[in-house]
Amino acid sequence: MYTLLRSLLFLLPAESAHHFTLGMLKIACKIPFGKSALRALFDSENPLSQKELFGLQFKNSVGLAAGFDKNAKYIDELACLGFGFIEIGTVTPIAQEGNPLPRLFRLPKDKAIINRLGFNNDGLDAVIERLKKRKSTIIVGGNIGKNKLTPNDKAVDDYVICFKKLFDYVDYFVVNVSSPNTPNLRALQEKDKLFEILNTLQELNRKKSKPKPILLKIAPDLNRAELDDVLSVVLESQIAGLISSNTTIDRGGLLTTDAEIEKIGNGGLSGLPVLQKSNEVLAYLQQNNSTGIPIIAVGGISKAGDAVEKINLGAEMVQVYTGFIYEGPGLIKAINKALLKLNK
């Protein structure tokens, strides 16, 4: 069924298909018994799937990665599809349009996507208003970033603004310094700059009566020395954990022709081709993770076995994005069933 639907959706430009699909999901949920029907189809409700992490109780260990619902418009609807948590954003202090269209491209031969969206979002205030109105009790993470026009030496200010304003409306935070689509953003992964951001946020967090988990999302393109620096900064700043990993700028090993890739141009690659690279990063982090920093794994999951592999490599939970687009909501149910068997 989903294969047919996907073939029709893939006739549309990628970004148009994305908005159309979410619009149809919202309509489906407004139909009497629509939400119940979706839950019956895709939600594998099982108390044994619950996961406690970061002091939070997750319904299950399969989350929707940031970027799918950037503006918190569809939390209640997406919650019907079996996810254990949903990450909104990336959100910036001020609304921004992102990069010019077209900026989202499918690579069907590779089950992959290239995006250069550029943190397009409605801004903090609009997102907060939507979060205030959500009805679902699903765990929601806030993925935060800096505005394009904010220089790197002022970047910490943008992250502080996002943290302060969003604090009452999300369950955990993710610091995004790893998107390749905002100029020079990845330079913030350098040790000193990264520590400034994370330590500043954690100091603010400690002053709260109930601090919230802060996680760092990293790129899969970091070398081992850079990964060592990341682990050192995470440990020193005492944030809650890591998300590994974001999209890659690597184009190696693709089935899509070089001519097609060149025509598409710059952007972050996600999907099946990222699986091995992201797993290598995950494995290295876990092997050198002497203090047991929790890791949420994302990157290249297109079947249940991919998620199981990441859990076996040491991840506490997983997130999906591109695999969800190619395989549909049945993927979430399949992963949950596989992880349930793993836990028995």
Which candidate in 44, 49, 178, 179 is catalytic?
179
C-alpha distances in Å from residue 130, one per residue of 125, 143, 154? 9, 15, 28
- Is residue 221 within 8 A of residue 246, CB to CB? The reply is no
Cα distance between residue 123 and residue 127, in whole Å: 6
Cα dihedral across residues 17, 116, 303, 298: positive or negative = negative
Cα distance between residue 201 and residue 205, in whole Å: 6
The amino acid present at 41, given as its one-letter code, is L
Q: Give the orientation angle of helix 330-343 with respect to helix 304-312, to 10 degrees.
A: 40
Q: Please give the full DSSP string across 186-235, using - where no structure is assigned.
A: GGGGSHHHHHHHHHHHHHHHHTSSS---EEEEE-TT--HHHHHHHHHHHH
Phi-psi region of 277 (alpha: psi -120 to 50; beta: other; left: phi over 0): alpha
- Is residue 91 within 8 A of residue 124, CB to CB? The reply is yes
Q: Is 270 a catalytic residue?
A: no
- The residues annotated as belonging to the active site are 179
